[in-house]
Amino acid sequence: MAYTQETVRGIVEKQRAYFNTGATLDISFRIEQLKKLRQAVIDHRESLEKALWEDLRKSQTEAYLCDLGPVIVEVDEMLKGLRKWARPERHFSGLMCFPSTKTTVYKMPYGVSLLISPFNFPILLTLGVLAASISGGNTAVLKTSSKSAESTKALKRMIAEVYPEEYVTVIDGGHDVADMCLSERFDKIFYTGSPKVAKHVLEMASKNLTSVALELGGETGNWCIVRKDANLKDAARKIAFFKLCNAGQICINVNQIAVAEEAAPEFLAELKSEFIRQIGEKAEENPDYPKLITEAVYDKCERLTAEYKDRVFFGGTGSRGENKFSPTVIYPVGIDEDIVKHELFCPLLPVVPFKDASVNELLDVIAGREHPLSMYVFTSDKKWAKKVMSTQQFGGGCINEVCIHMMVKGVPFNGTGHSGMGAYHGEWGFREFTHPQTVLTGKTHMNLPLREHPYSGKAGKIKMKLLKLFER
């Protein structure tokens, strides 16, 4: 379908009219829609997995582990908790508001939401956010990525079977169609992607003062710190697994490693060994290894590998025909080199050596750059690790682990600054898509003249004493 500004506007107007009927306010209605979403993922599992294979060469196991399974888990958490989350909160109004004693906070949906999803997890990062929007009582326009075209087609078919267009619909197309959407007045926008595009989204949203949530990869990438007292074999095993996942095209993936130079030779040997054990000498020849989304990403990998050819410790090979590039470890890399100042979003893995005794200087450098979406530290010094995690600014992270912090139920996920704003998953997703609306119920009798004039003289003095008393 070829979209025009008029067709996009028509879709938004239909959704606004539907929202204004009040149908989505009912919690039972929302639960029913979440159940439909869950069942749709199960019913369309084969076509969704096939689409992920076509777009990214994700194996069936990786597709379910990283895209489909987490959607089901997310919906299940919402089905279990939604009635409790959506329940109006009752508060005592306080003596300052006497004789009014009752205040209620209603969790109100924003209205018509625009969800712009990326190519790297085209199912999870579309349907996971949709679940949050539905739980909050909104309608949703899903602008999916043109880069993951087969996944977009599969989603479009699935959503059209499950929901009417005036409630949830998928809009496909490139940046021009995304701008058509952003030109319309939405009540909530959730964008997942790069900081550069996020600035454009914010600029467009500002014209209508639309509430925006952003889930971004981070301008300068996610750090993983490996200290000399770490279990190096364990660290290498986990990092290798994560870098292989989706060929490094993950917003929370390790962008660069800082390893204590005292442990660097042993760690690098373990890392190489783990890559070979898990995927083979040449990952691009393994059918389970995902491909890069575009030739441009492959070109970037090839260009940077050539630039650092004298420092390629492992990998550096690829298959242009398959658009696959092997995990490539580059060592040593200086902390001020350009390759560790940008999010790579690919299988390249620069390794920066540092003196273990100077780890705090390393942290100062990291803190001076844009806030990453994730941070990972490997060490046996739990006290130091906890101090780092409680003083550095980043979206979320792990101690002696990678990535699975985002799989924990009941906790928020997102970044800060250049790695995002807002938060979602479970109840946090419900909160992101609702506005807490405070309503005080007044009384028509026993009203005191405390707030009324006069404010001077004897009456003013009495009122001042009462005000100070009530403030306690």
pLDDT at residue 448 tops 90:
no
Over residues 359-408, the pLDDT tens digits come to: 999 999 999 999 999 999 999 999 999 999 999 999 999 999 999 999 99
Tens digits of residue pLDDT in 47-96: 999 999 999 999 999 999 999 999 999 999 999 999 999 999 999 998 88
Q: How far apart are CA 45 and CA 64, in angstroms?
A: 9
Residue 35's SS3 state is helix
Tell me the pLDDT of the chain averaged across its residues. 97
On whether the CB atoms of residues 218 and 45 are closer than 8 A, the answer is no
Residue 146 confidence (pLDDT) above 80: yes
Integer Rg of the chain from CA: 26
135: number of CA atoms within 13 Å, CB side? 31
From the candidates 62, 77, 184, 215, give the one annotated as an active-site residue: 215
**pLDDT at residue 451, rounded to an integer:** 86
How far apart are alpha carbons 273 and 267 in whole angstroms? Answer: 10
Residue 251 is a catalytic residue: yes
Please name each of the domains of the chain with its CATH number.
5-218+420-435 (3.40.605.10), 223-413 (3.40.309.10), 442-470 (no CATH)
Model confidence pLDDT, tens digit, residues 301-340: 999 999 999 999 999 999 999 999 999 999 999 999 999 9
- The pLDDT of residue 205 is above 90: yes
Q: In one letter, which amino acid is 327?
A: P
Q: What is the structure's pLDDT at 450?
A: 85
Quick one: which H or E segment has residue 468? helix 457-470
- 255-301 pLDDT, tens digit per residue, is 999 999 999 999 999 999 999 999 999 999 999 999 999 999 999 99
Query: Is 427 tagged catalytic?
Result: no
Catalytic pick among 66, 181, 245, 251: 251
Give phi and psi for 227, each to the nearest 5.
Answer: -90, 165
Q: What is the pLDDT of residues 169-204, one digit of tens each?
A: 999 999 999 999 999 999 999 999 999 999 999 999
